[in-house]
Structure 1
């Protein structure tokens, strides 16, 4: 019979291992000496020690899942419980028990981590929803639209919650975006409607202004022109492709009338000279508004200057283009600032600018063809008239092309 501290072999070749519960049969050995039997089953034990050591290292240093780790522990425990090795099996059980406790602790830690991540994702998505719902009420159409698109990208980068919570938050988020889009569409539709109404109003004012241009009832007609100007300003801006043409016609009709009145009232030259001085002072005051940095304040200041300008009356005809040109330069700067603001809030403006450019180009090309035809027919008077009309159309086209360039096209 042969033995060591943890096992023995009896005379029949049966191998035993010593445990806290007493001796347990390991197996039977008939192929060699008892020492060889103990050595064989001791190697079995060492194999279990190595296997447990490797598993302990994997659990502590890798991201082995709790499920896989527990399965490996159970597999080794089955071998230990089968008593097919000679050694301190109770010590192995203790190590397996500690390893099980570590795996369970790791499982709870990961569960808590997942819960924390889920809670953080929930809070992040709730914050996105709250911000989206606030943006849905914004009138900063461009900035709010860009921010909502950024929120969508942020949402996509966050992990999903449980289906019910995720669906509920997404429904609120999506509803806020839809509400904003609906309000923005209504706003621009209303703005377009207002500009169309302004166009119709100004068409009527132009017609009346042109009908009055040959009147010799100086006082009443001049008063009516002032009323028409007030109505013009109150009407708001028409579409850009109509505004300049309507204004040129309106102002042109007034110019015809006031030029005739000026020729009749030549004796007012002195008064007009004084008017020129006052208007030059106002033009200088207006020019101090440039460059435009505060659109709202500049618009209000220019409106005040323009009201005083209109109240002054006429200036000598030969001086008028220069002094009015100075005011028009400031007015154009204001209009360009307004158009820049408008473009920032009107994503459809580019398409309309392109359409206008095409229409004006076609009109210019048509006029050139008509001029060539009139020249060929010897109708120089008609050709000269068409040339003047071409100049106006070409100016509008140049302005439209400049506007289109501002869109990057």
Structure 2
């Protein structure tokens, strides 16, 4: 017979393990010596020790579910209770009991954690719904649309709530997105309709402008082109893919007419070379206004320069783009300064634009009256000179009207 502190083998080969409840039969061993029998069943005990240790580690360090952990504990307990190993089985039972308590603790912790996460998820989703409902009333179509798409991604990353609560919040969230999409669709449908109407109007204006481009009836045709330009500005913008092409055709037709008219005028006007010299002096004077530091003074000074500029008359055709380009560069700089000032003080800028438009309109009306008077008196030379001045003033008026239109006027 052979024995150790936790088991023994009797003369019949029966192996026993010692427990707090007394000896329990482990099994029968006939294949070798009693020492080999004890060693075999001690190895089975060490295997149980290793399995319990691994399970303890998994429960403590991984996200093993309480259900799976309890199943594993029950399986090991069955093996321990079967008494098919030699060792301190009572110690193993005690470890399994502690493990059951730990699993229960972890179960409660996870339950509390899930409840906390659910509360946090509910708060987060309620915040998303509130923001979506606020965005649904926005007219910032691009920014609000991008933000709503971002909110959807955020929603997808949040845990689900109970089905009833989650469905209710999602319904509000989805309804807000649908309401925004519907409003945006209606807005752009209306905008498309307006742009389509603008396109049809501008097609008509382009057709008339092209038909007039070869006219040699200089005065009435120039006046009609000014009217067409006013109608063009009042029509609004067409679709982007049409606007530039229509404008190029419209402007091209005018350029053909005004280039031909300028050529005729250039042949008539022997003073154009002197005019060029005078305009170069004026544009040099105007260029000193840039960069603009005192908008009011610069505007007044430019107005003075421009009035003298318009009074001078035509310059040689080949020199015109360069000298006018320099003048336009100064004018653009002033316009940019005015736009910046307008953005700061819209009502004041509008009032100034209306005042300038009124002054220019009065000047244009006065010139037209003077031209009619000169024609009536048979003074065609004076009328022609006044007509050239009127052209310049009218161009300024058109520009001022354009600016006023941009204010929403």
What TM-score comes out, normalization by structure 1 length? 0.50
* Higher alpha-carbon deviation: 385-394 or 234-243: 385-394
Q: Residues 242 and 84 from structure 1, CA distance in 2 versus in 1: closer, same or farther, beyond 3 angstroms?
A: closer
Q: Distance in 1 between matches of 2:268 and 2:370?
A: 44
Q: CA deviation at 1:117?
A: 3.6
2:256 is matched with 256
Q: Residues 243 and 54 from structure 1, CA distance in 2 versus in 1: closer, same or farther, beyond 3 angstroms?
A: closer
Q: Distance in 2 between matches of 1:282 and 1:374?
A: 29
- Answer whether contact 2:45 2:87 (CA < 8 A) is retained: yes
Q: CA deviation at 1:230?
A: 11
Q: Per the alignment, in what secondary structure is the counterpart of residue 265 of structure 1? A: helix
Q: Residues 167 and 16 from structure 1, CA distance in 2 versus in 1: closer, same or farther, beyond 3 angstroms?
A: same
Q: Residues 33 and 178 from structure 1, CA distance in 2 versus in 1: closer, same or farther, beyond 3 angstroms?
A: closer
Q: CA deviation at 1:177?
A: 1.8
Q: Per the alignment, in what secondary structure is the counterpart of residue 17 of structure 1? A: strand
1:47 is matched with 47
Q: For each residue in 1:13-61, what CA deviation from the matched residue of structure 2 results, as whole angstroms up to 9, or x when unmatched?
A: 4333222222222233445554444444333323322332233233334
Q: CA deviation at 1:170?
A: 2.9
- Answer whether contact 1:360 1:397 (CA < 8 A) is retained: yes
- Answer whether contact 1:142 1:345 (CA < 8 A) is retained: no
Q: Distance in 2 between matches of 1:387 and 1:188?
A: 45
Q: Residues 237 and 367 from structure 1, CA distance in 2 versus in 1: closer, same or farther, beyond 3 angstroms?
A: farther
- Answer whether contact 1:269 1:316 (CA < 8 A) is retained: no
Q: Per the alignment, in what secondary structure is the counterpart of residue 275 of structure 2? A: helix
Q: CA deviation at 1:150?
A: 2.4
Q: CA deviation at 1:94?
A: 0.2
1:89 is matched with 89
* Higher alpha-carbon deviation: 111-120 or 354-363: 354-363
Q: CA deviation at 1:74?
A: 1.9
- Answer whether contact 2:275 2:315 (CA < 8 A) is retained: yes
- Answer whether contact 1:295 1:334 (CA < 8 A) is retained: yes
* Higher alpha-carbon deviation: 343-352 or 215-224: 343-352
* Higher alpha-carbon deviation: 227-236 or 19-28: 227-236
Tell me, which stretches of 5 or more residues in structure 2 are unaligned? Answer: none
Q: For each residue in 1:284-321, what CA deviation from the matched residue of structure 2 results, as whole angstroms up to 9, or x when unmatched?
A: 99999999999999999999999999999999999999
Q: Residues 31 and 220 from structure 1, CA distance in 2 versus in 1: closer, same or farther, beyond 3 angstroms?
A: closer
Tell me, which stretches of 5 or more residues in structure 1 are unaligned? Answer: none
Q: CA deviation at 1:93?
A: 0.2
Q: Distance in 1 between matches of 2:36 and 2:138?
A: 88
Q: Distance in 2 between matches of 1:399 and 1:28?
A: 113
Q: CA deviation at 1:66?
A: 3.5
Q: CA deviation at 1:183?
A: 1.2
Q: Distance in 2 between matches of 1:180 and 1:264?
A: 59
- Answer whether contact 2:38 2:86 (CA < 8 A) is retained: yes
- Answer whether contact 1:29 1:37 (CA < 8 A) is retained: yes
Q: Residues 31 and 189 from structure 1, CA distance in 2 versus in 1: closer, same or farther, beyond 3 angstroms?
A: closer
Q: For each residue in 1:331-373, what CA deviation from the matched residue of structure 2 results, as whole angstroms up to 9, or x when unmatched?
A: 9999999999999999999999999999999999999999999
Q: CA deviation at 1:137?
A: 0.4
- Answer whether contact 2:364 2:394 (CA < 8 A) is retained: yes
Q: CA deviation at 1:75?
A: 2.0
Q: For each residue in 1:170-192, what CA deviation from the matched residue of structure 2 results, as whole angstroms up to 9, or x when unmatched?
A: 33222222211221222233345
* Higher alpha-carbon deviation: 49-58 or 141-150: 49-58
Q: CA deviation at 1:90?
A: 0.8
- Answer whether contact 1:353 1:400 (CA < 8 A) is retained: yes
- Answer whether contact 1:14 1:25 (CA < 8 A) is retained: yes
Q: Per the alignment, in what secondary structure is the counterpart of residue 86 of structure 2? A: coil
1:214 is matched with 214
Q: CA deviation at 1:136?
A: 0.9
Q: Residues 37 and 249 from structure 1, CA distance in 2 versus in 1: closer, same or farther, beyond 3 angstroms?
A: closer
Q: CA deviation at 1:121?
A: 3.4
